Homo-oligomer: A and B are copies of this chain.
Amino acid sequence: MKRTGPTPGLLRDIGEFGFIDRVKRRFGGPARPGEIGIGDDAAVLPSPAGKVVLSTDLLVEGTHFDLRYFLPEELGWRALSANLSDLAAMGASPVCYLVALAAPPHATVKLLEGIFRGMARAARPSGIRLMGGDTCLGEKIVLSITVMGKVRAGRAITRTGAKPGDILFVTGEPGWSRLGLRLLSGGRPRKPSGWMRKAMRRHLEPVARCEEGAGAAGCGAVSAMIDLSDGLLPDLSHLLAPGGMGAILNEKAFRLSPGFRKAAKELGEDPMAAFLAGGEDYELLMAVRPHRHDAFLRASRKFPAGAFPIGVVTRKGGVRVHRADGSWLAGLELPSGFSHFSSFAPSVAAAGNRSPRRRN
């Protein structure tokens, strides 16, 4: 088949320089005084007061996402949000982000710009900008995002500070992302409304809890924190691992709203399993020192997503869930992350971008 000329709209038509120029113009914004942004060998920006916080992630087409199921904007949004969530989980405030992108020459500029637009939209609430990156050719789309944040000296919150007696709080409503994934795995609804819309948006456009994380770091009451990427129970296990601690969770305290229960029922999901093992909610799980509980409650009133107590850290290992009917769940009776949902793993892999990912 003879090609009579370049097809407009493909990466190869404008070249990598052309693409970088467009990205710089549309998403980089003008450099502020003392800054050097896109277009030089590296980005330069003022050192933040306190500490620098850095996180980097890699997303590979076919492993983490499939553009037959994700809109490019959604991919960009999710990818940056997941990174910002890592900063939030340290109690850090975002400062800027860098993006390295590999794409085949026949990728459309529209698609690639859609990814950048999604990132820019997810970046907007925190006011951060794209400061640099890298572009190269590759057979598949690969997206690597690096975020830089800042945190006051001595205020960074790790995964390892929890102690027996600490109260476990979680922001927002974990489980919705799982419901959204379940909904999408059956085919994307055309014009979703009500619970369908909420579930889809919570899966496709999760919001990093930056204000909540920074607020938690600022109040001095939070001993350990992690963001929920693999699911509440798997991520909780990271907080409990040091010293072989355990936790008692209380089902009555779980925020399983009527709307959430209805959505779960419609989708044939166990609401508690979605809550405990859903994954990809990017909510924050916090361990709060009991003697500083009041300070935490005052701080959490300003959390846009709220924060809700779900249980307590115990000296004894293992997680036990006190059910609303008075019974207990423990060990293998507990819903787990991936394995629990492995029965429809193929559609999960297709519709979502789940994969066992580890950061830092």
Q: In the bound complex, do residue B131 and residue A58 qualify as a contact, i.e. CB atoms below 8 Å apart?
A: no
The segment from A132-140, A299-307, A334-342 that touches chain B is A132-140
Q: In the bound complex, do residue A52 and residue B56 qualify as a contact, i.e. CB atoms below 8 Å apart?
A: no
Per-residue B-contact encoding for A33-67, CB less than 8 Å = 1, 0 else = 01011111111111111111111111010111000
Give the complex CA separation of A60 and B86 in angstroms: 25
Q: In the bound complex, do residue A150 and residue B58 qualify as a contact, i.e. CB atoms below 8 Å apart?
A: no
* Residue A102 is within 8 A (CB to CB) of chain B in the complex: yes
Shortest beta-carbon distance, A35 to chain B, in Å?
A: 9
Shortest beta-carbon distance, A57 to chain B, in Å?
A: 5
Q: In the bound complex, do residue A52 and residue B148 qualify as a contact, i.e. CB atoms below 8 Å apart?
A: yes
* Residue A7 is within 8 A (CB to CB) of chain B in the complex: no
Per-residue B-contact encoding for A285-327, CB less than 8 Å = 1, 0 else = 0000000000000000000000000000000000000000000
Q: In the bound complex, do residue A43 and residue B360 qualify as a contact, i.e. CB atoms below 8 Å apart?
A: yes
* Residue A146 is within 8 A (CB to CB) of chain B in the complex: yes
Residues of chain B contacted by A159 (CB below 8 angstroms): 39-41
Residues of chain B contacted by A57 (CB below 8 angstroms): 100, 134
* Residue A251 is within 8 A (CB to CB) of chain B in the complex: no
Per-residue B-contact encoding for A204-235, CB less than 8 Å = 1, 0 else = 00000000000000000000001100000000
Give the complex CA separation of A16 and B355 in angstroms: 11
- Other-chain contact of A151, B44, B90, B98 (Cβ < 8 Å): B44
Q: In the bound complex, do residue B58 and residue A34 qualify as a contact, i.e. CB atoms below 8 Å apart?
A: no
Q: In the bound complex, do residue A146 and residue B54 qualify as a contact, i.e. CB atoms below 8 Å apart?
A: yes
* Residue A149 is within 8 A (CB to CB) of chain B in the complex: yes
